[in-house]
Structure 1
Amino acid sequence: MAPNLQCIFPALHLFGVLMLLLCPSCLSDCSMFPSIAHGSYEDVSSFFSFDTVVRYKCDKGYVLVGEEKITCRNSHWSSPVPQCKALCLKPEIKDGTVSADKDQYVEPENVTVQCDPGYSMVGFPSIICSEDRTWYPEVPKCEWEVRTGCEQVLAGRKLMQCLPSLEDIKMALEVYKLALEIEKLELQT
């Protein structure tokens, strides 16, 4: 062996041992950390460890599904990369209920809306928590059913919604009653 090569090999060997001591995780092929949608990761590896450890966390409004920490050993990750799933708030249903009564739902959770007796549904009864943290399709509404012969009740209900006070409602009903009596008198003549 040439004298120059005899000096280079021990130096390379010493450099390799030094690299192993200073950066053992450099030897594993885990330099590319798997990223996740709606979340972030952090390398939490120990300085003198042969393993690469990554910790994941989700953005506000999302929940982590899977392992919070994954470890790379011998160029293989210990478990699948976790996911950040959307959280949807409980749908507000006036005059109705949802099949699973909770404060929050995780994507792609599905709930069914049911209207109270006397109310009919406007929209689709089955809704799904979607990735953008909204319900799809849109949350249905429960509207009061106006049965045949109940049109006057509906008119009275609208009147109550339009007038600001009980006195105004009484006055409007008196005027309406008077108008009906005048109409009846005119029909008789």
Structure 2
Amino acid sequence: MPPKLQSMLPALYLFGVLTLLLFPCGLCDCRSFPKIAHGSHQDRTSFLSFTTVVHYECDEGYVLVGEPEMTCKNSEWSWPAPQCKALCMKPEVENGNLSVDKDQYVEPENVAIQCDSGYGIVGTPIITCSEDGTWHPKVPKCEWEILNGCEQVLAGSKLMQCLPNPEEAKMALEVYKLSQEIKRLKQE
């Protein structure tokens, strides 16, 4: 080995030791940040820091599940990367209600639909907030059920069991009265 190179070895060795002490992550695998679907990350590591810091945010229509910030030291991340989950808006169900009532739901939440008394469900009663921010299967409807024996209202006593509101009951009574008048006229 040439004498000039021999005289530089202690300086190179000292430079290497100082580099490792001042920048331990220089040789670590903390610069490849975990990627997340439907979101982005930003390196927030301060200058001459011994720890890598990354901050995560989600795209519009998604919500962050997990810690928004992670740190890495000596090639080890503090915890798993967060996830960006789709948001579903509250499903509108006329004449029914939801098992869990809130304004927004996060994928893959399930919600059961229950119809009001006298109404039956048309469709699947349990729906799931899906990855694209929609409900799957389609949000069911609650439709008025015609009870057995109510196909034709033969007596006023059954009327309130068969009709959902007083206006319809009043109209049905008028129709019933007219049908009785027509029946009587036909007999004469």
TM-score, length of structure 1 as denominator length: 0.73
Distance 2:115 2:63 in 1: 30
Residue of structure 1 equivalent to 2:79:
79
Per-residue Cα deviation, 1:109-137 (whole angstroms, up to 9, x for no partner) = 11110001111101111111111111111
- Describe how 1:86-165 pairs up with structure 2 within 5 A: 86-147=86-147, 148-150=149-151
- How far the C-alpha of 1:91 sits from its partner, in A, is 0.7
- Check the 8 A contact 1:42/1:56 in 2, yes or no: yes
Task: In structure 1, give the amino acid aligned to 2:134.
Answer: T
Distance 1:53 1:16 in 2: 24
5+ residue gaps in structure 2?
154-158, 160-173
Task: In structure 2, give the amino acid aligned to 1:46.
Answer: S
5+ residue gaps in structure 1?
154-172
SS in 1 for 2:54: strand
- Check the 8 A contact 1:95/1:116 in 2, yes or no: yes
Per-residue Cα deviation, 1:129-150 (whole angstroms, up to 9, x for no partner) = 1111111111111111123444
- Check the 8 A contact 1:58/1:64 in 2, yes or no: yes
Distance 2:8 2:129 in 1: 63
- Please say if 1:65 is aligned against 2:65: yes
Residue of structure 2 equivalent to 1:160:
none
Judge which range, 7-16 or 66-75, deviates more: 7-16
Residue of structure 2 equivalent to 1:54:
54
Distance 2:7 2:66 in 1: 51
RMSD, aligned CA = 3.4
Distance 1:132 1:110 in 2: 15
Give the fraction of aligned pairs with identical amino acids, expressed as a percent: 61
Task: In structure 2, give the amino acid aligned to 1:40.
Answer: S
SS in 1 for 2:5: helix
